[in-house]
Structure 1
Amino acid sequence: MKMLINGKQTDASDGKTLEVWNPATMELIDTVPSATPQDVEAALDAAQLGKKEWRDVVLFERVAILRKFVSLIDKNLDTFAKMISAESGKTLVSCIDEAKACMGIFESYCEKAKNYGGETLPFNSEARVKGDIIFTLKEPLGVVACVVPFNYPVELYAHKVAPALVMGNAVIIKPSSDTPMCNIFLTQLLLEAGVPGAAAQIVTGSGARIGKQIAESPKIDAISLTGSTAVGVETMQNGAKNLTHVFLELGGNDPLIVFEGADLDQAVAETLAGRASNAGQTCCGTKRLIIQNSIKEAYTQKLLEALKGLKVGDPLDPETVYGPLISERAAKDVEQQVQKTIGQGATCLYGGKRYDTTYFEPTLLTDVTMDMDIAGDMEIFGPVFPVIGFDTAEQAIEIANHAPYGLSSGVMSPDICTALKVATEIEAGTCVINGCGNYRSSHLAFGGYKMTGIGREGVTQTLDEYTQTKNIALKQMLK
């Protein structure tokens, strides 16, 4: 598969490529170009024309084009889902769901855009504007760089590309080097649906090689990135010299707090939903299990039995709960983090090992305390379940807020007052009562506090962030 620059399928100017591997089978799927600085500059130059061409397409026509794009995804759904599964290692069922989520997100942004606009300001509110009619228009920012991660490459493509395009911006998409094919395929469908080639481009290559160039370019008006906190900080620094709008969704170490009296079977089910999904490679997945000491032993035993029953393996098997991690490197990182936590005093009650190169056992860690890295700034992107005990609600909140991140959270308690106390005092962008924090709708203002990032993704807010407001004053029109 090739890059799409100015509407043309393009190899890297130096001919270099990146290999795309199936993490479940370790088979080579395909290669994609490894873009050079010259290739990136060509895309940036084309986008300057594309932003004007696409901006001048009226809203109802943009919506019609994007809805045609949705229909093309639906037409290719089965083939597309197998492509996602092959390069990401995700279960086929979850890939079908993700493709459908992408379709729904585009539809939702189209509908929102048709009902989105400026406002008329208060008339005669001050003596100095007496008789003036003042109103606002929403205009596109220009060119938006969309940096898409590997873990949800289709859903997060939609959350970045859909609001940018529907409001008339041009986009340059930078996919993860692990999962570029599904993003190339989607961009091909955008062009097939009628988006101009200069308004929707995709460049492939390592972030280290081309990410800095994109972030530093004065030809970029906004960057939307989902990734690590370290990369987010670097991206913001690189964009600062041009005052580029930067939207970041970064690290997370999200808690699930379970109080005495909660239904333990439901708590375990929510734990699995929060952590086993996508082999634990989910930004808002539950990564710390904060359990009241009076029920901790009973909860841990139920969770242990549930983990023993998880089917891990072939992503194409409909009974598989999760498949491999995205790469051998990722699996080794999780293994090292587990060993570090054990070295700090935790007990590995179950699992703890990597196998078949990229697979990792469901791992239950007990005797975890707040002073361990796993309870603070160490985000484990894998199927690891650390249990931390607490006695009072105040302690639970302190443990939850101990991490430098604040993406999502969950609390389970039979006492709604206790649950609401947690929800209001926890430092996170989302708190789910009666469930885990692995929760997202297309309309949710998704994002977090502290080092989790800046800005929100969701139909209710993102159009504000992907547009700029122009004031127009009709002076002394009404005397």
Structure 2
Amino acid sequence: MGGFGRKAYEFLSELGLGPRNPGCFVIAEVMEASIEDYEEGLRACANAAKIWMQIPAPKRGEIVRQIGEALRTKLYYLGRLVSLEMGKILPEGIGEVQEIIDMCDYAVGLSRQLNGSIIPSERPNHMMLEVWNPLGIVGVITAFNFPCAVLGWNACIALVCGNCVVWKGAPTTPLITIAMTEIVAQVLEKNNLPAAIFTSFCGGAEIGEAIARDTRIPLVSFTGSSKVGLLVQQNVHKRFGKCLLELSGNNAIIVMDDADIQLAVRSVLFAAVGTAGQRCTTCRRLLLHESVYQTVVDQLIQVYKQVNIGDPLEKGTLLGPLHTPISKENFVKGIEVIKAQGGKILVGGSVIDSEGNFVQPTIVEIAPSAQVVKEELFGPVLYVMKFQTLNEAIEINNSVPQGLSSSIFTRKPEIIFKWIGPHGSDCGIVNVNIPTNGAEIGGAFGGEKATGGGREAGSDSWKQYMRRST
């Protein structure tokens, strides 16, 4: 882990995960689960489901409350672990863990509001009810870029709805999977409940495929690429299961001629550079009205040149490394494709000659019709393009296969209401005067088209984790 060795030893020891030799650069060794391990875990989880779904929902909420409190006591150390293992800067790592804590708080309130309906019956002296019941087991497959927050969006809601959870974390972030599981298991055991209510596996595609094919798991929530998500969906649907997909994003920010330029520039910087461009909500396309195009581009180039790149655990760092050497290779290949399709590099465009997977934050001037613009390059690469009218900007925004997040910067109410209406953005998340990245847990998070159509976290997303009995 290079220069992270001593730091890693200190906070992994606090989590009970530390190596015996603090001078060793190998900070942990993790054995991945086999199919035999998976089968043993699923049997235990299925037995635990019979107990968990019988517990009243408010009492299930109390267990989730305790999980949130346990996470609070380890917030700083878990946040550092996320930053170390994934590569995002420390404020983002801590913020990710805080998001699970917030989801726990939200789920506690929800546990007393899983309301059904009383519906007028057409038959005399009859009553018709709608009752919501648990599914049983919910499978959650998460990606490296948010190694624990996405788990929280799903698991907190699934648990209060009366479901057990089977989680497969990303194979490149096993330590956060283990740490989270230890914390949840301790809460369950303290309350004399089976630890298998929350069952997790460190593993690769073999375990993910087993979850997708397992008839004991009525709902599978998958976060990852559209390509893999489609395979998961096909396997789940073959057995008539339900799928909740959170897939690729190709998010655009539109800056109108009346926009607050300084606000827009700050927002674009954080949306495009944060997490080294490895968020599903990263701003990848910047659409600028022709009258403000050069002003915005010039200001962005200046702030890009000032981005502090380095150790994600150090204060003041804005851009940490890409997650793996393969991520860096994909960045290099992506830049070559961009140039071949007429893209002009305005700033950045190269890897940084140092230890680690560091690359330059990059701005590319390119035509919106270029094929590469339609694809998601998972790195800090921002495409800038020019438009003349609002309708043209909306058409460009909607022209890609993905439909996760979108944003417009304007002061005009008539533009805002068109943007959020049926003839505006076709994305699941539609923002005004804020960037594309991030979301509030009270709302339903998810997107349309090749983003999968799933919804997680707030609003009425909880209904996906239950079955309706009329």
TM-score where L is the length of structure 1: 0.89
SS at match of 1:303: helix
User: What is the aligned counterpart of 1:190 among 184, 187, 206?
Assistant: 184
Counterpart in the other structure of 1:381: 378
Which structure has more relative contact order (CA 8 Å, sep 6+)? It is: 1
Code of the residue aligned with 1:364 in structure 2: it is I
Counterpart in the other structure of 1:217: 214
CA distance in 2, matches of 1:346, 1:416: 34
Would you say how many aligned residue pairs link Structure 1 and Structure 2?
440
Counterpart in the other structure of 1:441: 440
Is the contact between residue 337 and residue 372 of structure 2 (CA under 8 Å) also seen in structure 1? no
CA distance in 2, matches of 1:66, 1:314: 34
- The percentage of counterpart residues that share the same residue type is 29
CA distance in 2, matches of 1:76, 1:294: 50
Is 1:406–2:403 an aligned residue pair?
A: yes
Q: Hey, which bits of structure 1, 4+ residues long, moved more than 2 A?
A: 26-29
1:41-440 aligned at under 5 Å gives the runs 41-122=39-120, 125-126=121-122, 129-194=123-188, 195-207=193-205, 209-355=206-352, 356=354, 357-366=356-365, 368-376=366-374, 378-424=375-421, 425-440=424-439
**Deviation of 1:191 (Å):** 1.5
**Deviation of 1:27 (Å):** 5.2
CA distance in 2, matches of 1:27, 1:230: 35
Counterpart in the other structure of 1:470: 469
CA distance in 2, matches of 1:369, 1:182: 40
CA distance in 1, matches of 2:238, 2:226: 20
CA distance in 1, matches of 2:165, 2:102: 20
Is the contact between residue 375 and residue 402 of structure 1 (CA under 8 Å) also seen in structure 2? no
Code of the residue aligned with 2:141 in structure 1: it is V
SS at match of 1:103: helix
SS at match of 2:457: coil
CA distance in 2, matches of 1:386, 1:247: 30
Counterpart in the other structure of 1:31: 29
Residue by residue, what CA displacement relative to the aligned partner does 1:8-58 show, whole Å, maximum 9, x if unpaired?
A: xxxxxxxxxxxxxxxxxx954322222211111112222211111111222
Code of the residue aligned with 2:150 in structure 1: it is L
Task: Name structure 1 gaps, 5 residues minimum.
Answer: 1-25, 472-479
Code of the residue aligned with 2:448 in structure 1: it is Y
CA distance in 2, matches of 1:263, 1:241: 50
Residue by residue, what CA displacement relative to the aligned partner does 1:290-317 show, whole Å, maximum 9, x if unpaired?
A: 1111211111000000101111111111
CA distance in 2, matches of 1:167, 1:119: 17
CA distance in 2, matches of 1:222, 1:105: 20
CA distance in 2, matches of 1:31, 1:141: 35
SS at match of 1:168: coil
Is the contact between residue 275 and residue 384 of structure 1 (CA under 8 Å) also seen in structure 2? yes
TM-score where L is the length of structure 2: 0.91
Is the contact between residue 408 and residue 448 of structure 1 (CA under 8 Å) also seen in structure 2? yes
Code of the residue aligned with 2:175 in structure 1: it is M
SS at match of 1:120: strand
Residue by residue, what CA displacement relative to the aligned partner does 1:170-196 show, whole Å, maximum 9, x if unpaired?
A: 111000011121122112111111252
Code of the residue aligned with 1:295 in structure 2: it is V
CA distance in 2, matches of 1:88, 1:53: 35
CA distance in 2, matches of 1:429, 1:60: 31
Please report the RMSD computed on the Cα atoms of aligned residues, expressed in angstroms.
1.6
**Deviation of 1:227 (Å):** 0.6
CA distance in 1, matches of 2:417, 2:351: 39
Compared with structure 1, are the counterparts of its residues 112 and 35 closer, same or farther at alpha carbon in structure 2 (3 Å cutoff)? same
Is the contact between residue 332 and residue 354 of structure 1 (CA under 8 Å) also seen in structure 2? no
SS at match of 1:44: helix
**Deviation of 1:154 (Å):** 1.9
Task: Name structure 2 gaps, 5 residues minimum.
Answer: 1-23
Counterpart in the other structure of 1:10: none
**Deviation of 1:419 (Å):** 2.9
Code of the residue aligned with 1:428 in structure 2: it is C
Code of the residue aligned with 2:218 in structure 1: it is D
Is the contact between residue 108 and residue 160 of structure 2 (CA under 8 Å) also seen in structure 1? yes
SS at match of 1:453: coil
Is the contact between residue 246 and residue 454 of structure 1 (CA under 8 Å) also seen in structure 2? no
Is the contact between residue 227 and residue 251 of structure 1 (CA under 8 Å) also seen in structure 2? yes
Compared with structure 1, are the counterparts of its residues 110 and 419 closer, same or farther at alpha carbon in structure 2 (3 Å cutoff)? same
SS at match of 1:294: coil
CA distance in 1, matches of 2:260, 2:57: 49
Is the contact between residue 58 and residue 108 of structure 2 (CA under 8 Å) also seen in structure 1? no
Counterpart in the other structure of 2:455: 456
CA distance in 1, matches of 2:454, 2:247: 11
